[in-house]
Amino acid sequence: MKFLVTLVGVLAGAMLAGAEIDTVTFGDAASEQAHAFSETGSKAERGGLGESCRRLLPLSPVSWKGGTMKFRIKVDPEKPNYVTVKFWGEDVSDDILLLSVDGKQLGYRHLGDYDILDHGSSDPALFGRFFYTTTPLPPAATSGKREVELEIAANGRIWGYGRNFEQYQKEMTAPSRGIYRLYTQTEGFFTPPADEKFGKAPAPVKPEDPAGTFDRLKARVGRDIDSWLKPNSIPSNQMHIQMLAQAYHVKWTKACRNPEAVKKVTAGIDDYFRRWRKDPKLASYDRSTYNADWFGFGPLGDAILQMSDELKPFLDESIDDGEGGKIVRRKAWADMLEAGVSYLSTHRRQYTNQSMIIDMNLHRNNRALHWLDPSRGLPLEQTLGFLLESTGIKPWSGSLDKQGKPSWPLGRDYMELTAKHLTRELGFVGSYGEILDWVSSIYDATRPAPGEPGNAEIRDALAEMIRARSYFRYPSLDADGRPAMRLETVVGWRDTTHPGDVVYAQRPNRDGSAVQSVAATLDPDAIGLAQQMFDDKQFFRSIENQMKEGGFRVTFGLLHTPDQYELLLKQPKQSSRMPMSAGEPDFVFSDEENGVLAVKDGDEILYASLYWRARHAVNSLAKFHHITPELERIATVREEINFEPSGLFYLRPDWTNFGFGNGGLRYPDKAESLHRGEKLPIAKIPAGIAFQPGQENSYAGRGDFYRCSYGPFEIGMNASKTKRFSMTLPPGEFRRLGSGVGTVQGKSTVSVPPMSTFVYKKILK
């Protein structure tokens, strides 16, 4: 059965005249007076390009709350309404901005489909220009009304992982970013009025490499390694033992081929065995790792594999068992590792990055156990198979049950990555989907010995993942105005920051460098991306940024960076460059499983998530990020979705914080949600998958076909594997982007095949 759902049946074409309804210019006395403006704790000033704006200020005494401003503004009583706010791209603020309509909060503070007005940023979003943020108003909030009261409030930043209110909601201690204008309109694509000032991107600052980066890196890494090599000292936890064992093969460290390192690793594992004997829960929950229940004894397994030849002479010695007796080292270590294998194999996780980390540690754990005693543990082919599942090569089989059989909780065809090699979760995730570091580590976990090639299937899959992620980096400037590629985060389900990090082939983070995956694959296309990073002088800056953060995890992640860089310097020059770079060919990249789109058309870039944060039901919302030389647009817009209904519905609860789970922590101000009570249809859930309305589910809000108009762009995405759908273009003349097809006349109907996306752009005359 086919079923077409449209929240509001008005999806106009590009830039219709009269779409704008009303405008208030903040800091302009006449405009504010005309809109019954009032404020508590704000400051009017001149900002970007000399335009007037207001900043909301911290309160006295300091609180998590900041200043507010209220005003009345016109809306259309019959048509769908949108609100657009104008911001200066160079403003930097950690504060968040919330919008209320007639006293009720629009959107959710953290990861909701309706977003708050602004999440703040630590870097300038863009230099010399403005950006515009557009959000739809729920139809019930404006139906029959010609005017509403809006309030913009500033709060301190939030930390999404906070376990209590003080950790989660921070105080507001500095002014908000400047708020320039607010517009109401009936179109999701905002067209600035004729009196708008447009800036110009400045010439990039000439990039130069910082001096002495590797000296500082080696000094930092060396301090930890040297401390473990001192007399009467041993590495104190799994991660320390693992790092010392890996350093044994890193030529610039004091641990390299150092017999003392072998002794220290041996003593460290012995000590860990005795600790496990006293506390068996270490196999399932080890606080020395950053996610205590994801590691088992994987790091110890890796340490054993790194030094297997060197450790072999000591395996049959007797050691203190910690209980007043003796035990052969081989048996002691095997007993401990077997407990890790047992736990991890029965506690696999679905989310891609979590699946990867757990399975990587399981395989290391199991390989080391087999090396110690081939009769114990799981078959090596089985844990290698888990790695193939986590990297999207085979269907994910879930945890082993009590009988040691795969549980298949998501059916027998669920893949951890999409066919286009992006991580598959509820939808497209930006920074959270940057798993190249983990896949590189998984590849390392399959090497028969350090330095030898690993599993070829995983290596090739990693190269494809690098290519897929490369479409989601766009040309920009770094915080100091140097040329850089930025990670696309606006359309990411798990992202709140804008702009994203400076990223080329791989996002540098605590566990890996910007070139880790390139050095692992030596894929020619990936090498070209790394070489572009070297040319832009961003490689050493990425290391400097890594080193700004303290902590052992970062130190360990830096260990192999100099050798990776040295390896890549030896590679031939490649012609490949980041796809979104100026001068590169135009393209359309679409991933129908994730409902995401990346388009390059000359100097315009468009990102879209058509399947947008629909965790509980079909919401008929899409998210866009439109980048042009003059400005940027960020917009949540209405769309049409064709899906098969389940007959079930979801009623939005009165949540104002999280847009998922149980709504997160409740705020003391007891704000009310503008969305409470909205009834949304739930798509059909496949047979055999347990589901109740209100649960998060990757099928509940997913459509078969998405149809969206955004300014000059007309998009049809067919996410069905078997059905064909048609789309009718509005009047005008169009080009089908990324196809090589000539012009297409408006009002024509085109057929979109399964698992494909058509993007048309109106030819403006």
Mean pLDDT for the stretch of residues 419-443 = 95
End-to-end alpha carbon distance in the chain = 42
Q: How far apart are CA 535 and CA 530, in angstroms?
A: 9
252 by Cβ neighbours in 10 Å (0-12 / 13-18 / 19+) ranks as middle
pLDDT of residue 575 exceeding 80: yes
Band of residue 17 on the pLDDT scale cut at 50, 70, 90:
very low
Rounded to whole angstroms, the Cα distance separating 360 from 352 reads 12
Distance separating alpha carbons of residues 219 and 43, to the nearest angstrom: 47
The yes-or-no verdict on residue 5 having pLDDT over 80 is no
Query: How do residues 257-266 score in pLDDT, each as one tens digit?
Result: 999 999 999 9
Mean pLDDT score across all residues of the chain: 95
742: pLDDT strictly greater than 90: no
Question: Alpha helices of 548-688 — where are they, by DSSP H?
Answer: 552-558, 561-569
* Mean pLDDT, rounded, for 697-702: 94
The rounded radius of gyration (Å) of the Cα atoms in the chain is 28
What's the pLDDT band for 410 if we cut at 50, 70, 90?
confident
Neighbouring residues of 127: CB distance < 8 A, sequence distance ≥ 6: 89, 90, 201, 202, 477, 481
pTM: 0.94
- The fraction of the chain above a pLDDT of 90, given in percent, is 93
| More confidently predicted of 4 and 594 | 594
Check residues 128 and 10 and name the one with the higher pLDDT. Answer: 128
632-638 and 130-136: which strand pairing? parallel
| DSSP symbols for 415-447 | -SB-TTS-B-SSS--SGGG--HHHHHHHHHHT-
User: What's residue 8's pLDDT?
Assistant: 30
pLDDT band at 688 (very low <50, low <70, confident <90, very high): confident
